[in-house]
Structures are given as C-alpha cells and as structure tokens.
Chains A and B, each alone.
Chain A
Amino acid sequence: MALIEVRDLTKTYHLGEATVHALDHITLRCEKGEFIAVMGPSGSGKSTFMNVIGCLDKPDSGEYLLDEIDVRRLNRDELAAIRNREIGFVFQGFNLLPRTTALENVELPMLYNGLQAKERREKALLALQKVGLSGREHHTPTQLSGGQQQRVAIARALVNDAPIILADEPTGNLDTRTSNEIMDLFVKLNTESKITIILVTHELDIAKFSRRVIKFVDGRVVSDGPGVGA
C-alpha cells in the first residue's frame, strides 16, 4: 500500500502562444517512510509536481491517491483539510507570518483543526523543542537567523503530526553549514519519527541526504533510483 500514488498525471500551462507541459504523464509511487529528493533544472515541472502532491494545485488529468484518498474528487475545503492533516510544507523562503512569534507561527496549523488553546501551546512548544529552538519561542522571524526561521517552519510542518513533509528547496536561502544542519534535521525526522520526506533541490550535495532521487526534465521523470545516501 503506497502512501502516494500518481498515475498519468498531466498539467499544461499556456504561456501566450507556447504550451508548457509541466507534468507529462507522470506515474510514481512513494511508500511510507521514504526520503526522496526531486531534482531537475528549473522549468522541469518539479515544483508543479510538488504543488500537486501537496494538494495546492490540481492536475489536468491523471490519478492521485494520497493514503488511498482520491484527491481529485475533493473540493477546496476538503483539500485544505487534507493539507492540514497529512502534509507539512517547508518553503525556500520560510513563509513565516511576519510580526508573529515563533510559537504562534508553529500554532498556526492547529488554528484550523479545532484544537484548544492549551493543547496548541503544548504541542507547539514540543515541536519547537524537537527542532532545537527551545528558548526562542517568543522571537519574531526578524529576530531569528535564516536557519532558525527554517527550523520554525519545520516545527510548523511537524506540529500536526502529518505523515508527509514536502520541502521545496528548503536550503536554497541558507549557507552550506546551516544547510547541512537543516538536512541533518530532516534525516533525523525521517529515521526517528518515520516521516516521509519529499524535497525539491537542484544541489547534488543536498540530494545526497536522501535515499531515493527522482529526476525531472520537461515534465517527465527521466530517472528514478536510489540516492547516494541510500
């Protein structure tokens, strides 16, 4: 039983005259607990793939089963609920709420699943502890370094106990040392908490941390095999 299963996924953009096949009949399976790096040049469709997997975008055609749920049948609000429950996002630009403390940023996903304030606080504190940010709960993003901000974002992705983390170039804005620290954190979450991690990167050094590498070119999967870290 696959956690993520896509079949014949297509997505086409029309940019003026040109037609761009962002996803060109993609068929993939991803099991629970995998650590996948998605690579490829820009415009290869890897970001579109992540958006579709993350239920932020809908494919034009094809099937997508997430934990055996046919995602294509879901409406806007049901997709939001799926994102809330099943998926944690980590972005290149961190995407934290400005002028909002780390703790409140981490609490954000729990505002949308009906948890009580006390429970939210406890879980958020725990998640921040997990990413090594105890003591910085009340700092706002501007008071934190890039690495620390990304840790807050990871804590936010963890806090609802989502089985999947989707990371879109999570180290793109970070220096090498901080990047390695963040990647170590992902590895730890994958091995210790059995969280399925799919990350998009174009750096081989980063892809090394994964156990499976999928390469995209022109909306197609050109290679899919064990990574260096496997």
Chain B
Amino acid sequence: MINIPSTVKISFKALMGNKMRSILTMLGIIIGVGAVITMLAVGNGAQEQISAQIASMGSNLLMVLPGASTSGGVRMGMGTQLTLTYNDVEGIRKEISSVQAAAPILNGVAQIVYGNQNWSTGVIGTTPSMLEVRDWGVSSGRPFTEEDVRNASKVALMGATVVNNLFRNISPVGQMVRIKNIPFTVIGVLEEKGQSPNGQDQDDTIYIPVTTAQKKLFGTSFPGMIRIAMVKAKSPEDLPVAEKQITEYLRQKHHIGPKQEDDFSVRNLTQMMQAAEQSTRIMTLLLGSVASISLLVGGIGIMNIMLVSVTERTREIGIRMAVGAQTWDIRLQFLIEALCLSLAGGVIGILLGVSGSAAIASLAGWSTTISPIAILIAFSFSGLVGIFFGYYPAYKASLLSPIEALRHE
C-alpha cells in the first residue's frame, strides 16, 4: 500500500528544505547532461555536413580512371596514359547490369567570355547521363540531349557560380558565351550544389557535350579519348558487383591478357566518403563518451549526498518505521529524492546543452545539430543515474533497524 503522491511530496519537501545542497548536487547532473548534449550536437553537426556533401556528390558512385603509362620502365602515375574512351563509357552504361548510369569526363580549364565579363572555370565535356550520375538537376532551361552529343552541338549547361560571375541580372538561358573564343549557347543552369567533400565549389563549372569538348575545345590524342568515367551503381549493394563487372568488362574490351595489369583503375568514391563519415561518427562517439563521464561523476555526487542525507535523517527514518512505514515506503522516499535531483538536473542540463550548442554555433561558426534522440537519451540516462546511484542509499535506509534508528542522535 505505497502512497506515491505523498511519498513524492515528502521527498520534495526534504529537497526544498535543503535548497543549496540540492542545487549543488544537481549541478553535477546539469553539467553532465549539458556536456553530453552539446558534444553530440557538435559531432552530429559535423557528421550531417559531411553527409550532405556526400549526397551532393551523388550516391553509389564509382570512378574509372585510365591507367598509369610505363615508358622505359618509368611508371608515370595514374591517369597519365589516357586509355579510356567515350565508347568504353557507353559500353559500361549499356551492358553492365549493376550500373544505373555512366558518364565520361573530358575536362580542362577555359576562359569564358560574356559581353565585357569573363571568368575562368573548369569545363567538363560529358553526356546527359552525368546529371543522373550526380543526382543533379537544372534550375532553368534544359539539359543537353543525346542528340547534342551526337552532333557535337555548341551548347553549355552552367553552374550557379559561373552564372553569378558572368551574368548580373540577365537570365543566362539562350545567351551566347564564348569558351576559348568558340561561341556556345547557354541552354540551362544547373541547380546549386555547394561545396564538395574536399571543399571545391561544385557550382563553378560548365557542362558541354563530350564530343564538343573532344572535337572543338580540348582535342584528343586518340579517337574518343576521355579522362575519367563516372559510374552510378543501382544500389549500395551493387557497388562491389559493379566494380568487378566494370573491371572484367574493360579488361576484355582492352584485350588485356590474364597476366597483364589493368590499364585503368576503378575507385569507389562512395566508400571513400563513407570512411570520412565513419571517422566523424567515431569522433562524435568519443566526445559523447567523454561527456558521459561527467554525467557519471554527477551521479556519484548524488549518491554521496544521499548517503549523507540518510545518515542525517536516521532518526526520521526510525520515526517513520515506528508509525508503520514499510521497506518500500522508505526506499521509495529516498529513491524519489535521488530521482528528483537527477531528473531536475537533467531538464536544466538539456536547457544548458541546447543553449550551449546554439552558442557554439554562433560563436565558433560550427554547425551543430541537436537531435531529439540525444535529448531523450541524455534525459533517460540522467534518470537511470538517479535510480542507479540513489538505490544504494535508499536500500541502506530501508534496512535500518527501527529501534537503532530511533536511538540515533
């Protein structure tokens, strides 16, 4: 027959009767919970930033690079021998089952002129598949088509940064720009994407048909030459399959014998990015666990104060037992006191953590993300700390002998 509301009232009264001590005891939990929430917010913020960058790059990406050339025994490094062709990329796109899209890249830096404005940027020759590979859309105008590629049309898709630098208030679509003095029609503007994972401005670019780049802009050292192929697998699970299939396909297509080395290499971009994400996740975990230690220390503070409180109030416990308090009446009374301390500390700690991460965001300029789950975990953890560290003093109190307790001075 435990009277919960009265027990809560008794506990509350005891806490209010000793305000300074209660506040100091709570301080440990406040700081602990606040630290956990702030640290997780900082970690999650970093993680989300990286995830957003990965998403902006496109998902399930593979990159195929031409192989290293060997001239007189000197290996020249990856990409020095341009063995990949547009034809290879089209083959990968059409014939490999695990591939959703594939696009070539033949790029170079060129000066773009519009009226009296000019801007130097990376020009990428590619195919319409590129937009699918990179999960990219156009914000105005239209993307170029297969036909544009076939005809080597002089059309260009512009990134937002290029548009901002060349066109002030004019809509670029339909305008004529000169790239290396060759006139191109701007047919569309790419959606804004922001920074890439390695800090490049992804919007500072121009897409043109790969054939146009080959024939009119950069030239080729052999027919159909490209620099890189970007491949999008159908799903994350398909990535390793695609990697293997592409290797087999290209070895066969390039007539590479069983003992010869590949003249290309396949890189899993998504995997590389996930590794970066993984490392921030570990950092978050590390920060969180360091902060949890302070929560633990706060819990020990509660236990300490509760033990003192039990000793101080031994006589009170004796009186309560004499008038009929049972084991769990006493135990709950002290347990609720510990729980009140830790939960109130938890709530204040959450407020502190939320404002702390807001302060970090505005002062240090880091992006912080407070997840409701972190708050929930911190709060329930503080509750658990209260129960865990409050139980022993409560247990001790409930096992006192009534006469001994009554005799206690």
User: In the complex, how many angstroms separate the beta carbon of A62 from the nearest chain B beta carbon?
Assistant: 18
Q: Is the CB of A56 within 8 A of B322?
A: yes
Interface residues of B in 319-353 (CB under 8 A from A): 319-329
A84 to B329, CA, bound (A): 13
Interface segment out of the listed A75-83, A171-179, A186-194: A75-83
- Knowing A51-B403, A56-B402, the reply to whether A113 touches B324 (Cβ < 8 A) is yes
Contact A83 B323 (CB under 8 A): yes
The contact string, 1 if C-beta is below 8 Å from chain A, for chain B 295-330, is: 000000000000000000001101111111111110
A112 touches B327 (CB 8 A): no
Q: How far is the CB of B402 from chain A (nearest CB, A)?
A: 5
In the complex, residue of chain B having the shortest beta-carbon distance to the beta carbon of A120: B6
Contacts of B327 in A (CB 8 A): 76-77, 80
A88-101 vs B: 1/0 string, CB under 8 Å?
A: 01010001111110
Say yes or no: B323 contacts A89, CB within 8 Å.
yes
Name B1-59 residues within 8 Å CB distance of A: 1, 3, 5-7, 10, 13, 17
Residues of B contacting A51 in the complex (Cβ-Cβ under 8 angstroms)? 403
A31 in contact (CB, < 8 A): no
CA–CA, A112 to B6, complex, Å? 9
User: Closest B-chain residue to A76, C-beta based?
Assistant: B327
When A95-B406, A97-B316 are in contact, do A85 and B324 touch as well, CB less than 8 Å? yes
Shortest C-beta distance, B394 to chain A (Å), equals 15
CA distance A76 to B325 in the complex (A): 10
The answer, among B1, B316, B324, B402, for a CB contact under 8 Å with A109, is B324
Residue A123, interface by CB 8 Å:
no
* Secondary structure call for the B interface: helix
Q: Which residues of A17-47 have CB atoms within 8 Å of chain B's CB atoms?
A: none
Contact (A108, B320) CB under 8 Å given A91-B406, A95-B406, A114-B1: yes
Contact B403 A112 (CB under 8 A): no
How many of B's residues come within 8 Å of A, CB to CB? 25
Tell me if A228 is interfacial: C-beta within 8 Å of chain B. no
Compute how far the CA of A57 lies from the CA of B402 in the bound complex, rounded to whole angstroms.
Answer: 8
A85 partner residues in chain B, CB cutoff 8 A = 324
Is A111 an interface position by the 8 A CB rule? Answer: yes
Question: Which residue, B1, B13, B323, has most C-beta atoms of chain A within 10 A?
Answer: B323
Q: Is A117 an interface residue (CB 8 A)?
A: yes
Check B329–A112 contact: CB distance below 8 A: yes
Which chain B positions have C-beta within 8 A of A91?
Answer: 406
Query: With A76-B326, A99-B17 in contact, do A111 and B406 touch (Cβ < 8 Å)?
Result: no
Within 8 A of B (CB), among A108-132: 108-109, 111-114, 117
Q: Is the CB of A112 within 8 A of B406?
A: no
CB-CB under 8 A from A97, the residues of chain B are 316, 319
CB distance from B309 to the nearest CB of A (A): 14
Measured CB to CB, the closest approach of chain A to B14, in angstroms, equals: 9
B403 touches A109 (CB 8 A): no
Known: A80-B325, A99-B17. A111 touches B6 (CB 8 A): yes
Q: What residues on B are CB-neighbors of A95 within 8 Å? A: 315, 318-319, 322, 406
- A156 on the interface (CB 8 Å rule)? yes
- Besides A54-B322, A108-B320, A109-B323, 4 more A-B contacts (Cβ < 8 Å) are A56-B321, A80-B324, A80-B325, A113-B1
Contact sample, A vs B, 22 pairs, CB 8 Å cutoff? A51-B403, A56-B322, A56-B403, A56-B406, A76-B326, A76-B327, A77-B327, A80-B326, A81-B324, A83-B323, A85-B324, A89-B322, A95-B319, A97-B319, A100-B13, A108-B323, A109-B323, A111-B10, A112-B320, A112-B323, A112-B326, A117-B6
Q: Which residues of A does B touch, CB under 8 Å?
A: 51, 54, 56-57, 76-77, 80-81, 83-85, 89, 91, 95-100, 108-109, 111-114, 117, 156, 160
4 nearest CB pairs, A to B: A84-B324, A109-B323, A112-B324, A114-B1
Could you list which residues of chain B lie within 8 angstroms of chain A, going by C-beta atoms? 1, 3, 5-7, 10, 13, 17, 315-316, 318-329, 402-403, 406
